[in-house]
Structure 1
Amino acid sequence: MSLGDALSIAMAGLRANQAAMSLVSSNVANAETPGYVRKTVDQVTTNTGSTGSGVNINGINRELDEFVQTQLRTETSGAGYASLKSDFLQQLQGLYGNPDSSGTLEDSFNALTAAVQALGTSPDSQSARIGVINAAQTIAGQLNAMSNGIQTLRGAAETGIKDAVANANTLMKQIADINNKLQTNPLGGTSTDSSTAALLDQRDRYVTQLSQLMDIRVTTNSVNQITVFTGAGVQLVGNEAATLSFNAQGTVTPSTTWNSQSSLSSLGSIKVSYSNGGSIDLTSTIKSGEIAAYVEARDKTLVEAQNQIDQFAATLASSLSDKTTAGTPVTVGTQAGQTIDTAGMMTGNVMHVTVTDATTGTQRNISIVRVDDPSVLPLPNSATNDPNDVVVGIDFSQPGTVIAQLNAALNPSNLYFTGTSSSINVLNNPGFSTVTAASVTTTLSPTNLTSGGPEVALFTDNGAAYSGAIGGSGSQITGLAQRLSVNNGLVADPSRLVVFSTSPLTASGDSTRADFITRQLTKSTYSYSPQTGVGSSSAPFKGTLLSYMQQFTAQQGAAAQSAAQVADGQTVVLNTLEKKFSDVSGVNMDEEMAHLLSLQNAYSANARVMSTVNQMYQTLMQAF
């Protein structure tokens, strides 16, 4: 090996060592920088002369474990979703309160029950009567506050989606910008220069932040450019970034809901738009990340919570104000049956007919619902909470057509109707069916406090009767908890909690009405809609008001606890992956210092070779 070759090899070594030490310095300086990936020099061996070999710097390597990085992004989405879901459920649990503490819905209900029982013991006591009114106002106010709180949370979710979409758009644009910069400086593979490596670190950080918002999938081409897709396969970023849009609505109320058909939706939708004019609705396709948690809270979790307290409020109101009157036997011509007095029916009230098939002996229950808005017809069988009911909606807005509508709808069921819209005869079909029972449920007007029966409209829908009306604008039950109030007539005259008849006049010490209210609150059982999340469409939950309340509050508490556990578990998984990623791709100060010492020794060795070659050159020059 010539002295020139030795000098060249030493010089190459010095340059490589200098570049490596500079990289160690950069690693140490960025040890705490989020998203920074440890860098190493990419060295290649070169031939010098006939026998020697040197070294060249071919670029910079990012010590990146792409498999762990992909896992980390998936778990980042999962952690964002689980944490936010838990946060919403904890806030919802705060509205429901701790079952063991005061001020909860159960506490208010028990106070109402106790007040009514006290009234039953001392019906002539003015303080007992006022106690019932106060307790009723407390539980109504509790339901109002819970409903307002739920809608506030839904509004927060709507705002959260808006902010997350804006954040996602910024991140996607930044990712696309870096993709375009890489296109002008493509080195390919994992080896690159320092400026490109810095861009890749920055882009990875943006992708990780995007994964916290939604579930994504990333592919990389030969020049280190990436394409980002949603988990469902919709492209978000390439050389261009798509644009996400969200048409946030104003005030969120119980009646504002999201629907995949934009004409039926009253809440914002997430859409992705492209430069060619195309767009795709992503609202229901994002399955993880913070956006998915916001959407689930707004459109499912909190809607179900509202349904739960609306159902409770509806059952509480109707259990006291609804009066069921049995039909009376009637014969029209040669046909026997039952006559039903429907004069007091309000929209939403129901006629019940039980029919026995003469051939098979099978019984069928038919619920005939009064409807005053034909646009909602036909009604689904789920219009009542009994899955065994055959539900028929009849338009009463034109009384003269009611009998014809009934015959058109139920002649195939071997029933025949005569009479008028206020007095309906439902008749047997000899040889085919027999009407074994008939009744009508009517709702007392809030002003009718002395109907002659114990039923009373203690609770109202902002002063109006609650009858479960179904109209074009929706069902009356929707948002009832937010509107529930105590009957102003009873507030003005609490004696009507006892006096239910003026002719003859109910005695001031009569406990009939108080006993009825107590029985309805504590002993009577009701069916509850599966839309509450309690029970199912085939087996709806049946029980007292208290058992239903305990069911959905316990279910809510369990959901909040489970979500917190999942969030904690997801955090552990994410932290484990972050440590694993850091072990491979992060900066270890001890390793960097050891590497620096090794580089310093190598630098000294190369410098000594150069010094020795220099001395040898000087000796040779002196010899000549």
Structure 2
Amino acid sequence: MSLSSALGIAQSALANSSAQSALISKNIANVSNADYSRESAGTITQLSGYVTTGATQRATSAALMTSLLNAQSASASSSALDNGLSSLATTLGLDTTSSTGTTTATDNSPATLISALQTALQQYAASPDQSALGTSAVAAAKALASNLNQASASVASVRAQADSDMTSAVNTINSLLAQFQTVNTQIVIGTRTGADVSAAQDTRDGLLKQLSTQIGITTTNNHDGGMSIYTDSGATLFETSARTVAMTPTTIYSAGTTGQAVTVDGVPVTGASAVMPIQSGALAGLATLRDTTSVAYQNQLDQMASSLITTFAESNGTGTAPGLFTATGLTGLPSASSTTGLAASLAVNASVDPSQGGNVTLLRDGGIAGSSYTYNTTPSDTGYSTRLNQLVTAMGATQSFNPSSGGAATGSLASYAGSSVSWLEAQRQSSTSQSTYNSALVSSTTTALSNATGVNLDDEMSRMLDVEHAYQASAQLMNTVNSMYSTLLQAFN
């Protein structure tokens, strides 16, 4: 081997060491960057002994990346649903497990207040001449009506907040898709021209992670280095260009309000009219909360309100009218198909409410709906308890309810209210368990992806030592060649 060849080999080795050192330094600098994928390049030894640095390679794991995107979408969906249900449960006073040594847990659920009203009626029936007991019974009725009003308002608030969050999610999705289009175009052009696109690929992966928390996605790689994105139901979000995701917000919700669907290029992906309904992501969880779960609970509240009006209705032999309970705009009794919104406007009839100038003895004697509905035809009979006992019996009687919203199909008013509370608690506990599981899955998948594609500082430092040793060996070879050149020159001189 000639000295010039030896010198060339040493120089190529030094150049390779420099390139390898630069890659390792870049890896170390990004050790805390969750979106960075470790880079490496092989050393190619030629037959002549010269060495070159191979093409830079990003550490990738398509399977783990797909698993992480799916896990993040599922976690965001269950978390959104869990937060909404927890808000309902907290607002309605359903947490009976938070008592401590100094505080007592409260339970202001409709089921508890219905039982309290029934007890107050029983006590009044036992001593119908005690007007104070009548006042207590009316107060219990007002507390129940107020609770159903507040519960209905809470449902409306949760739905309105979910709608607002869905609007924010739609805006975020459109922003991320626009950023994705810019980066994806850079990668396609860079791939075509042979430029280093690893940084752009890292950015693109980071955008996919953010996007998956908003909506469930799947991806496909294209032959030109680009990528296409679809919802988990198959609707196209990005293919060469970003598609438009849209939703018209609804700011005010009442019991009968139907939220607007989210569309992708005009095709609904949420709501009853969804052609390709999405399954995961915060958007899917919020849509389920707004359009399904909260609506079902609202229906249960309205059925309770309807039952209260019917149970306490007064009859004059030829017709019936609302008695102790009534509702705004209600003239007759509600039908099975006209219960929507009753819980929001349920109230105790003013004629029996002392705070509104009413007379509590009308609860005992009848006539809340008017004098023609009086049951006690002997006003001097202060021991009259027949009407009160009728009401107690009616509250305990078996009734039919619409089971499609989740409550019991038949049972007493109190048992139906209890089934409603149990339904809400079961929904909340299920969503909490699912959210906890999905969060753990995201954590474990993130760790697995980091181990496969991320930067391990110990490994990089070990590689740096190897490169330093190679550099020292190449430098020593150059020194040796230099010494030999010097000896030759001295010999010629």
Query: Could you tell me the TM-score, scaled by structure 1's length?
Result: 0.72
Corresponding residue for residue 154 of structure 1:
159
The answer for unaligned runs of 5 or more in structure 1 is 258-266, 274-278, 326-342, 345-442, 447-456, 536-540
Whether the aligned pair in 1 keeps the contact of 2:184 and 2:227 (CA below 8 Å) is: yes
Query: Does 1:171 find its partner at 2:163?
Result: no
The C-alpha deviation readout for 1:240-268, integer Å capped at 9, x for no partner, is 111111111220111101xxxxxxxxx22
Corresponding residue for residue 267 of structure 2:
280
The C-alpha deviation readout for 1:207-242, integer Å capped at 9, x for no partner, is 111111111111112332101111222211122111
* Structure 2: distance between partners of 1:503 and 1:83: 56
Query: Does 1:271 find its partner at 2:145?
Result: no
Corresponding residue for residue 106 of structure 1:
111
Moved more, 97-106 or 291-300: 97-106
* Structure 1: distance between partners of 2:302 and 2:88: 15
**Deviation of 1:24 (Å):** 1.4
Whether the aligned pair in 1 keeps the contact of 2:309 and 2:324 (CA below 8 Å) is: yes
Whether the aligned pair in 2 keeps the contact of 1:176 and 1:238 (CA below 8 Å) is: no
Instruction: Report the AA paired with residue 63 of structure 1.
Output: A
The C-alpha deviation readout for 1:350-404, integer Å capped at 9, x for no partner, is xxxxxxxxxxxxxxxxxxxxxxxxxxxxxxxxxxxxxxxxxxxxxxxxxxxxxxx
Corresponding residue for residue 311 of structure 1:
303
Whether the aligned pair in 2 keeps the contact of 1:307 and 1:531 (CA below 8 Å) is: no
* Structure 1: distance between partners of 2:464 and 2:123: 85
Number of corresponding residues: 466
Question: Which SS does the other structure have where 1:218 is aligned?
Answer: strand
Corresponding residue for residue 56 of structure 1:
52
Corresponding residue for residue 509 of structure 1:
383
Instruction: Report the AA paired with residue 98 of structure 1.
Output: D
Specify whether residues 322 and 304 from structure 1 end up closer, same or farther in structure 2 by C-alpha distance, changes over 3 A only.
farther
Query: Does 1:214 find its partner at 2:215?
Result: yes
**Deviation of 1:124 (Å):** 1.7
**Deviation of 1:520 (Å):** 1.4
**Deviation of 1:323 (Å):** 5.1
Corresponding residue for residue 607 of structure 1:
475
Query: Does 1:573 find its partner at 2:474?
Result: no
Q: Any residues of structure 2 matched to 1:75-90 within 5 Å, and which? A: 75-90=71-86
Corresponding residue for residue 519 of structure 1:
393
Question: Which SS does the other structure have where 1:185 is aligned?
Answer: helix
**Deviation of 1:322 (Å):** 6.2
Out of 332, 338, 348, the position equivalent to 1:486 is 348
Corresponding residue for residue 132 of structure 1:
137
Question: Which SS does the other structure have where 1:223 is aligned?
Answer: coil
Specify whether residues 127 and 177 from structure 1 end up closer, same or farther in structure 2 by C-alpha distance, changes over 3 A only.
same
* Structure 1: distance between partners of 2:192 and 2:24: 22
Query: Does 1:617 find its partner at 2:485?
Result: yes
Instruction: Report the AA paired with residue 527 of structure 1.
Output: S
The C-alpha deviation readout for 1:320-361, integer Å capped at 9, x for no partner, is 216597xxxxxxxxxxxxxxxxx74xxxxxxxxxxxxxxxxx
- Which one has the largest radius of gyration? 1
Whether the aligned pair in 1 keeps the contact of 2:165 and 2:286 (CA below 8 Å) is: yes
Query: Does 1:204 find its partner at 2:205?
Result: yes
Whether the aligned pair in 2 keeps the contact of 1:229 and 1:235 (CA below 8 Å) is: yes
The C-alpha deviation readout for 1:502-553, integer Å capped at 9, x for no partner, is 78334222001111111112x2010110232135xxxxx2111111111121
* Greater RCO, CA 8 A, separation 6+: 2
Whether the aligned pair in 2 keeps the contact of 1:463 and 1:488 (CA below 8 Å) is: no
Moved more, 98-107 or 279-288: 98-107
Whether the aligned pair in 1 keeps the contact of 2:163 and 2:251 (CA below 8 Å) is: no
Specify whether residues 466 and 24 from structure 1 end up closer, same or farther in structure 2 by C-alpha distance, changes over 3 A only.
farther
The C-alpha deviation readout for 1:465-501, integer Å capped at 9, x for no partner, is 452258xxxx531121111000011111112112233
Corresponding residue for residue 371 of structure 2:
none
Corresponding residue for residue 532 of structure 1:
405
* Structure 1: distance between partners of 2:225 and 2:466: 32
The C-alpha deviation readout for 1:426-479, integer Å capped at 9, x for no partner, is xxxxxxxxxxxxxxxxx31x4xxxxxxxxxx11001263452258xxxx53112
Question: Which SS does the other structure have where 1:509 is aligned?
Answer: coil
Question: Which SS does the other structure have where 1:186 is aligned?
Answer: helix
The answer for unaligned runs of 5 or more in structure 2 is 97-104, 367-373
* Structure 2: distance between partners of 1:556 and 1:152: 16
The C-alpha deviation readout for 1:66-111, integer Å capped at 9, x for no partner, is 1111111111111111222222222222234135634332332222
Query: Could you tell me the TM-score, scaled by structure 2's length?
Result: 0.90
Instruction: Report the AA paired with residue 132 of structure 2.
Output: S
Corresponding residue for residue 477 of structure 1:
339
* Structure 2: distance between partners of 1:205 and 1:7: 45
**Deviation of 1:122 (Å):** 1.6
**Deviation of 1:57 (Å):** 2.5
**Deviation of 1:26 (Å):** 1.4
Specify whether residues 504 and 547 from structure 1 end up closer, same or farther in structure 2 by C-alpha distance, changes over 3 A only.
closer
Specify whether residues 160 and 466 from structure 1 end up closer, same or farther in structure 2 by C-alpha distance, changes over 3 A only.
farther
Q: Any residues of structure 2 matched to 1:539-554 within 5 Å, and which? A: 541-554=409-422
Moved more, 502-511 or 107-116: 502-511
Instruction: Report the AA paired with residue 476 of structure 1.
Output: S
* Structure 2: distance between partners of 1:324 and 1:179: 76
Corresponding residue for residue 72 of structure 1:
68
**Deviation of 1:301 (Å):** 0.4
Identity of aligned residues (%): 29
* Structure 2: distance between partners of 1:84 and 1:136: 35
